[in-house]
Amino acid sequence: MKIRICLAGATGNVGRALAHEILRSEDLELVGAVSRTYQNRNLGEVLGTPKVDLKISGTVQEAFTTKADVLIDYTNPSVVKGHVLFAIDNRDECRDWDFRSHRKGLCRN
């Protein structure tokens, strides 16, 4: 079973590199991509990878309409905490996250 990933900041310098590596991986699946700059465009076109057919969302909330197991956020430090809390609130469970043992109270279930 592949790990389903939502990548926020998918079209930035680090996000592009991560997206390419996730797409190449056999055990990872990119199910969500977030970029305010390129929202509603096809990630494959933006990355120059024509085989990829994934619509870029403008917000993490919009991207999470597709179930993801992991959120990777390379956006802006001022919004990351809000994105993480949203992801936690919209998961079935918070399992095996380092947050649980290191930041008590961050997992809300």
Two tokens, residue 64: 């999470």
pLDDT of residue 92: 59
pLDDT tens-digit map of 80-99: 999 999 988 887 554 444 44
Amino acid at 6: C
pLDDT digits (tens, 9 = 90+) for 7-27: 999 999 999 999 999 999 999
**Is the pTM higher than 0.75?**
yes
pLDDT digits (tens, 9 = 90+) for 39-85: 999 999 999 998 999 999 999 999 999 989 899 999 999 999 999 99
Cβ-contact 60, 83 below 8 angstroms: yes
Phi and psi, residue 12, nearest 5°: -80, 180
Sketch out the chain's domains with CATH numbers.
Answer: 3-102 (3.40.50.720)
The 3 state secondary structure assigned to 5-48 is EEEECCCCHHHHHHHHHHHHCCCEEEEEEECCCCCCCEHHHHHC
Q: What angle do CA 43, 31, 1 make, to 5 degrees?
A: 140
Task: Give the confidence band of 102 by pLDDT, cuts at 50, 70, 90.
Answer: very low
CA-to-CA separations, 10 to 46, 77, 103, in angstroms, rounded: 10, 15, 26
